[in-house]
Amino acid sequence: MNTCENRVVIITGAGGGLGRSYALAFAEAGAKVLVNDINREAADAVVAQIVVQGGSAVANSDDITCYEAAAGILRQALECFGDLHVLVNNAGICRDRMFSSLSEADWDQVVTVHLKGHFCIASHAARYWRDRSKAGIVVSGRIINTSSGAGLQGSIGQSNYAAAKGGIASLTLVQAAELQRYGVTVNALAPAARTGMTEQVFADVMKKPEAGFDHFAPENVAPLVVWLGSEASAAVSGQMFEVEGGKLSIAVGWRHGPEQIKQKRWEVDEIGNAVSQLLEQLAPAEKVYGS
C-alpha cells in the first residue's frame, strides 16, 4: 500500500539500525528517500537495496551537526526530488559513563549529535516550509524526532544521552506549537529496538531469538514512522510515541500536579510540611532506568 506515494523523505542516521528500517519502509510505501549517514558506504548500501527493489533513493553523508552542511542535505533532496515532505531525525551516538566519570568531550559529543543535530536540519526544513506556506502553497510537512525512554525517565550511566533526549522531547512540543500554522506536524519517538547503540548496552536482552517474533527488531518501529510521515497523520502533532515490539503507546508529558496556595509568601519553616503533603498526593514517577 503506497501510503507515502511520491512524498520526499530525509532520514538521518539511515545507514543501519532503525534508520535503515525506516528508509526501506518509506521506499516500499512509495516515498522518495534521501538516506543520510556519516558512513557513506552504509548509506550507499541502503540506497542500492531500495533501488534494486524498485524504489527511489539517494545517499548523503553530510554532517548533521554543522548548520551549513545540514543545508546541503535539504538542498540535495530538493535538487533530486523537487520537494520535501518528511524529516526523520534519527542519527545518534552513545558515550555512556557514570556522571562522576563523564568527561567534557563525552558530554559535548552526545549533546551535539543528538540535540544540535536535531536543530540544524530541522531549522532549514522549517524555513523551507514556512516560506512555501507564506507563498500560498499548501504544505504537508512532517518532522519526526527521536527521543528515548532515557529522556523521559532518565537512565543510570547516561546523563549526557538522557539530557539530550529530554531536550528533544521539549523541542518537539515547541516545534509542534510553532509550526502548525505552516501545515507542519511534529511528533517524537521513544523506541526500544536492537541497533548499533543498544546492542552495546543491552546485548543479552535484545538478542535476536532463534525462532518466533523478534521483539526488538527495528522493523517493528517502522510502520509507526511511515504512518506519521503520511498524509493520514495530519491531525496528530506534539505527541511522544513509545514503541517496542508489538506495543504502541503515547507517553504522558509534563502536567501540573498537586498544589497548595497561600495568599502570601511562604515562610521557610512552612515549606517542609507543605512539600510532604504535596508528595503524598503526587502519583509516583517512573523509576530511573537501572536504579
Choice among 165, 230, 233, 237 that is catalytic: 165
Q: Which three-class secondary structure state does DSSP give residue 57?
A: strand
> Is there a contact between 277 and 260 (Cβ–Cβ < 8 Å)?
yes
**Alpha-helix residue ranges (DSSP H) falling in the chain:** 17-28, 40-52, 67-81, 104-111, 117-134, 149-153, 159-179, 198-201, 222-229, 268-281
161 part of the active site: yes
116 part of the active site: no
> Is there a contact between 251 and 240 (Cβ–Cβ < 8 Å)?
yes
262 part of the active site: no
Choice among 21, 147, 148, 230 that is catalytic: 148
**Per-position DSSP letters for 144-188, written without gaps between them:** EEE--HHHHH-BTTBHHHHHHHHHHHHHHHHHHHHHGGGTEEEEE
Choice among 161, 230, 233, 237 that is catalytic: 161
Q: Which three cell numbers stand for residue 123?
A: 531549522
* Catalytic sites, residue numbers: 148, 161, 165
